[in-house]
Amino acid sequence: MCRWTLLLLVGLLSILPAKDAFKVALITPGPISDGGWNQSAYLGLQRLRKELGAQIAHMEARSPAEYAEAFRDFAARGYRLVIGHGFEFGDAAMQLAPQFPDTFFLITSGRVKARNVASLELRLNEAAYLLGVLAARMSRTKKLGCVGGMQIPSVERAFAGFVAGAKAADPKVQVRIAYIGNFEDVAAAKETALGLIRWGADFLFHDADAAGLGVFQAAKEAKGVYAFGAIKPQHSLMPQVVLASAVVDVPQGFLYVARLVKAGKWKGDILHLGLREGVVRVVFNPRLKNRLPSAVLTELQRTEAAIKAGRLKVPDRLTVANSR
């Protein structure tokens, strides 16, 4: 064998994936440039490559047929862990899982489970509860507003926590919830938020992904109105009005599960990760935090400690009738 042929073979072997490579794929329902839900998932995928040496791949899918096709494609190509980033991927995973027993399917914000299917419930409602307490204590009008993208379980859970926290702090506070029907329409979110402000809301919480920017724009225009971000720290988008954000560390959640899979300790179940596990938290805007009374900050610290210790259970379903 000539020297150049040998060098060529060595080079090819160096770029081919190892036979036992830990392969992880992510399927998102929207673009990873959204600055929120999908982007955080992609950052989580990249973290698996960095910390676990995973070979990674990503695909966007927007319909049940595309969900199933993406799952089938990755499983057939030998991916060990395939993540469907949203409850809507649950049915497709349950249908395909028996056909690919060596592939593990993880559904974010899902409620499905099987031998090789698990759901990751990121308890954003726990952080939202704290924001509800904060809003109720700080509100002058005692009227709060929530703007959601779509009325889906994960968004409803977040709003359930916010409403429960607000009502616990002040039973007389009123909360209105409105949905715009998607997660991209900034103009619709802004108009919806302005409607809540005209009603009297002086604190707004959104779970509308990229459309949430419209909520911040409305708060800025209205004067005297504060807003809360979701999923990621969002005060940099509108530092004048975004007081704090209910943050989900999606990368940490993915890492938690991927380590179980890689170590052979996977168990098909519903995994609940929240404040206690360090996957969910409240991040304050450092520019505005000094406007919070020390008594309110102390109450938030006590409340967070109670949630972490299990003394306070945050609801994940709306049990309060909200006026509209």
Name the superfamily (CATH) of residues 124-248+293-309.
Response regulator (3.40.50.2300)
- Confidence (pTM): 0.84
Class of domain 20-122+250-273: alpha beta
- What confidence tens digit (pLDDT) does each residue in 192-221 have? 999 999 999 999 999 999 999 999 999 999
What tokens does 273 get? 């990760």
pLDDT (tens digit per residue) in 89-146:
999 999 999 999 999 999 998 889 999 999 999 999 999 999 999 999 999 999 999 9
Mean pLDDT of the chain: 91
**Residue 11: predicted pLDDT:** 40
Mean pLDDT value of segment 266-279: 91
Q: Residue 19's pLDDT band (boundaries 50, 70, 90)?
A: low
Token digits for 280?
């969910």
pLDDT band for 324, please (50, 70, 90 cuts). very low
**Where do the domains of the chain lie?**
20-122+250-273, 124-248+293-309
152/134 Cα distance (integer angstroms): 25
- DSSP class per residue in 52-74: H--EEEEEE--SHHHHHHHHHHH
DSSP string, 226-252: EEEEEES--TTTSTTTEEEEEEE-HHH
Q: What is the pLDDT of residue 15?
A: 40
pLDDT at 8: 36
Domain pair 20-122+250-273 / 124-248+293-309, same fold:
yes
The tokens for 26 are 């992510």
